[in-house]
Amino acid sequence: MNFDFSDDQRLLQDAVRTMLAETSTSQAVREVLEGRATHSDAAWRNLIDMGAAAAAIPEQYGGSGLGYLALCLVAEEAGRHLAAVPLASSFYLAAEAILRAGSAAQKQHWLPQIATGKLVATAALGSRERYRKAATAPLRFDGETLSGSSPALSDGGIAGLAVLRVKAGAEDGLSDTLVLVDLSATGVSRKALPSLDPTRPLAEIHFDHTPAEALTCADASTVATRVLDGAAVLIAFEQVGGAARILEITRDYSLERKAFGRQIGSFQALKHKMADIYTTIELARVHAYYGAWALASDAPELPRAAAAARVSATRAFVVAAEEGIELHGGIGFTWEMDCHLFYRRARQLGQCIGSEHAWRAQLADELIKEAA
């Protein structure tokens, strides 16, 4: 029994933590929050240079080949430090889709560029819930070119490559396909969208007969599901990292702040609330660990483990962020305090690949299937 990460993996985590503590400071994150930067470039450069971001990309494609367990711990640190970087878009989603469904040539061409940070990639692989918003032309792929509008894409403003799940084929026989689009090609226009978490900027991309190529998978839905399961585990680590950090910040503040002649952290109402938040986070952490095991060992339990990690980690970060503001009191509701950065990120991470409700439904589906 060794339900833990290795010493080498922990060393990488420590190095990433030290680096992000210097580069992903509150000030750096606020540069993106307030629109003066598209992402934290220093943090991003370092994540690339350390081989941390490309941990799960094999060396033959320019990655560090450290593996998924290493990437999980990198994700935890990115979450802790609210890193404003395109880690999920480029590495958990786009690169994974190419790795799993790309041809040899596609992998050889695109993965090294992603791994070395030469380009940022973004992806939209579909989710269970969708808003029936005013008609925008849906994405259509005719075998050679792509037309229509993308959904809101994280890091869509700076991406050089997109992996999109689109409809392809003739009117009467549309099927799901995954396509690769070079965003420097003709017919691409972008529109920045406001985001509830401006530290993770959104854009919509319009295509007008833009050259695109299909990924060579037999079944787009199977690949998309597999990639989303992996992303759910990695994002769960970001959520656990963020949740643990805001709880620490809140604990520290409750030891400083005095009211009614005592440290507010000495009141049992606050102690018990923080104990409950800690418990929620640790439960999410073990589910995330189990997801990491399933992801790294490509276990058949992955759909269940990923959904359990996603639901519990989403809950944990949302609760820790909401109660973090509440426990700070009025000061927590100010722009200057970082509490709202966690509140916003908890919401963004909790919905970026589908809400906890959709994933809870997946978890139930898996459990009921297994108990058939």
Partner 1 sequence: MDFRDTPEEAAFRAEVRAWLQANGSARSRPDEMFGEGLDDAAKLAAAKAWQARKAAAGYAAIAWPKEAGGRGGTPMQQVIYQQEEAAYLVPGMIFEISIGMGLPTVMMWAAPELKARFLRPGLAGEEIWCQLFSEPGAGSDTGGVRTRAVRDGEDWVINGQKVWTSGAHFCDYGILLTRSDWDKPKQEGLTMFIVDMKAPGVEVRPIHQMSGESEFNEVFFTDVRIPDRYRLGPECGGWKVMLSMLMQERMSVGGNLPTDLHEHLIALARQCDWDDRLAIDDARVRARIADAYLQQHGVELLIARGLTAISKGKTPGPEMSITKLVAAKALQDISAFALELAGADGIIGHEALGGDWRYMQRLWLGSPGARMGGGTDEILRNVIAERVLGLPGEIRTDRKIPFRELERS
Residues at the interface with partner 1 (CB under 8 A): 1-6, 69, 247, 251, 254-255, 263, 265-266, 268, 270-272, 274-276, 278-279, 282-283, 286-287, 289-290, 292-293, 296-297, 307-308, 311-312, 357, 360-361, 363-365, 367-368, 371
Question: CB 257 → partner 1: shortest distance, Å?
Answer: 12
Both ends of the chain: CA-CA distance in Å?
Answer: 29
- Residue 194's φ and ψ, nearest 5 degrees, are -65, 150
Residues 65/53, Cβ–Cβ less than 8 Å = no
Residues 152/204, Cβ–Cβ less than 8 Å = yes
DSSP state of 93: I
Q: Look at residue 179 and give its three-state secondary structure.
A: strand
Residue closer to partner 1, measured from CB, 115 or 274: 274
Question: CB 357 → partner 1: shortest distance, Å?
Answer: 8
Residue closer to partner 1, measured from CB, 95 or 308: 308
Q: Which helix (H) or strand (E) holds 87?
A: helix 87-87
Q: Which of 155, 159, 4 is nearest to 83 (CA)?
A: 155
Close Cβ partners of 117 (under 8 Å, ≥ 6 residues apart): 44, 45, 48, 53
Q: Look at residue 85 and give its three-state secondary structure.
A: coil
Question: CB 306 → partner 1: shortest distance, Å?
Answer: 13
Residues 303/362, Cβ–Cβ less than 8 Å = yes
Question: CB 251 → partner 1: shortest distance, Å?
Answer: 5
Residue closer to partner 1, measured from CB, 53 or 305: 305
Q: Residue 150 and residue 93: Cα distance in Å, rounded?
A: 16
Residue closer to partner 1, measured from CB, 146 or 247: 247
Question: CB 221 → partner 1: shortest distance, Å?
Answer: 21
Question: CB 9 → partner 1: shortest distance, Å?
Answer: 9
Close Cβ partners of 27 (under 8 Å, ≥ 6 residues apart): none
Question: CB 272 → partner 1: shortest distance, Å?
Answer: 4
Residue closer to partner 1, measured from CB, 153 or 318: 318
Q: Residue 315 and residue 363: Cα distance in Å, rounded?
A: 14
Strands 161-168 and 213-214: what pairing? unpaired
Question: CB 303 → partner 1: shortest distance, Å?
Answer: 13
DSSP state of 187: T
Close Cβ partners of 178 (under 8 Å, ≥ 6 residues apart): 97, 101, 125, 163, 164, 165, 166, 214, 215, 217, 220, 223, 224
Q: Residue 21 and residue 215: Cα distance in Å, rounded?
A: 38
Residue closer to partner 1, measured from CB, 68 or 110: 68
Residue closer to partner 1, measured from CB, 39 or 310: 310
Question: CB 358 → partner 1: shortest distance, Å?
Answer: 11
Residue closer to partner 1, measured from CB, 39 or 304: 304
Burial of 203: CB neighbours in 10 Å, binned 0-12, 13-18, 19+ = buried
Question: CB 67 → partner 1: shortest distance, Å?
Answer: 10
Q: How many CB atoms neighbour CB 145 within 10 A? A: 18
Residue closer to partner 1, measured from CB, 192 or 255: 255
Residue closer to partner 1, measured from CB, 83 or 270: 270
